[in-house]
């Protein structure tokens, strides 16, 4: 049990969870919520490293046949913690008028609501011993979401190098939100069949 819990794929998942408070800390380096250029680049580096572990933990678990129940449970939780934390930080950071604000908040709300609803559905179906596999489109949704957040974390700091950094991030965030709506509907349609059968 302990050996499975501390295999390399699971350790990478733990690293992703530990990255969450580190990203938050970057935005509070001055004792209050403020995103200096250094804070944004630091948060971006941590986020990118955490995102890379998302690919490798699943890949290694399958390649080395080290899949475990704790890994299956924590992997989606780690993803959701990282995404939700970054979206909330970007929405709260109004100091430089960059990132998620105004209408863009709806994209973030759609993404967060979908994650909560699908998690609830999965938990309910798990009690019925029903597994809902992750679709290829849902994987693309996650990829687009991560890229959007990376651009938005760079935000004003990135705009100094590539002037459209924030705008690209916002466009990708809306694309992710639209794909999120579709995949969320897809999951609920699949889940409702089992709920109705009950």
Confidence (pTM): 0.87
Classify residue 19: in a domain, yes or no. yes
Classify residue 1: in a domain, yes or no. no
Each residue's pLDDT tens digit, 138-181: 888 889 999 999 999 999 899 999 999 999 999 999 999 999 99
Element (H, E) at 113: helix 104-127
* pLDDT computed for residue 78 by the predictor: 87
Classify residue 186: in a domain, yes or no. yes
- Taking alpha carbons only, the member of 74, 83, 149 closest to residue 115 is 83
Classify residue 104: in a domain, yes or no. yes
The total of other beta-carbon atoms located within 10 Å of residue 137's CB is 12
Distance CA 130, CA 149 (A): 32
* pLDDT computed for residue 191 by the predictor: 72
Upper half-sphere CA count for residue 168 (Cβ side, 13 Å): 15
* pLDDT computed for residue 65 by the predictor: 72
* pLDDT computed for residue 87 by the predictor: 93
CATH number of the domain that residue 84 is part of: 1.20.120.1760
Classify residue 122: in a domain, yes or no. yes
Q: Are 84 and 112 in contact (CB under 8 A)?
A: yes
Classify residue 3: in a domain, yes or no. no
Split into its structural domains, the chain has a count of 1
* pLDDT computed for residue 4 by the predictor: 63
Domain residues for 79? 8-197
> Which residues in the chain land under pLDDT 70?
1-6, 59, 61, 66, 68-69, 71, 95-98, 128, 130-133, 194-198
Q: Among the residues of 28-135, which ranges form H helices?
A: 37-63, 69-92, 104-127
* pLDDT computed for residue 183 by the predictor: 85
Classify residue 2: in a domain, yes or no. no
Classify residue 99: in a domain, yes or no. yes
């Amino acid at each position: 049990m302990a050996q499975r819990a501390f295999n390399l794929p699971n350790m990478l998942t733990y690293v992703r969870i530990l990255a969450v408070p580190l990203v938050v800390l970057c935005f509070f380096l001055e004792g209050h919520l403020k995103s200096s250029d250094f804070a944004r680049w630091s948060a971006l580096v941590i986020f990118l490293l955490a995102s890379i572990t998302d690919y490798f933990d699943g890949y290694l678990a399958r390649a080395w046949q080290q899949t475990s129940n704790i890994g299956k449970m924590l992997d989606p939780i780690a993803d959701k913690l990282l995404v939700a934390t970054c979206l909330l930080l970007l929405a709260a950071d109004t100091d430089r008028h960059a990132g998620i604000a105004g209408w863009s908040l709806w994209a973030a709300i759609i993404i967060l609501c979908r994650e909560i609803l699908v998690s609830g559905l999965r938990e309910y179906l798990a009690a019925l011993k029903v597994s809902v596999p992750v679709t290829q489109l849902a994987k693309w949704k996650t990829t687009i979401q991560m890229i959007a957040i990376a651009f938005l974390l760079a935000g004003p700091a990135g705009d100094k190098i590539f002037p459209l950094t924030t705008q690209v991030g916002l466009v990708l965030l809306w694309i992710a939100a639209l794909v999120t709506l579709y995949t969320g509907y897809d999951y609920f349609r699949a889940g409702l069949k089992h709920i109705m059968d009950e």
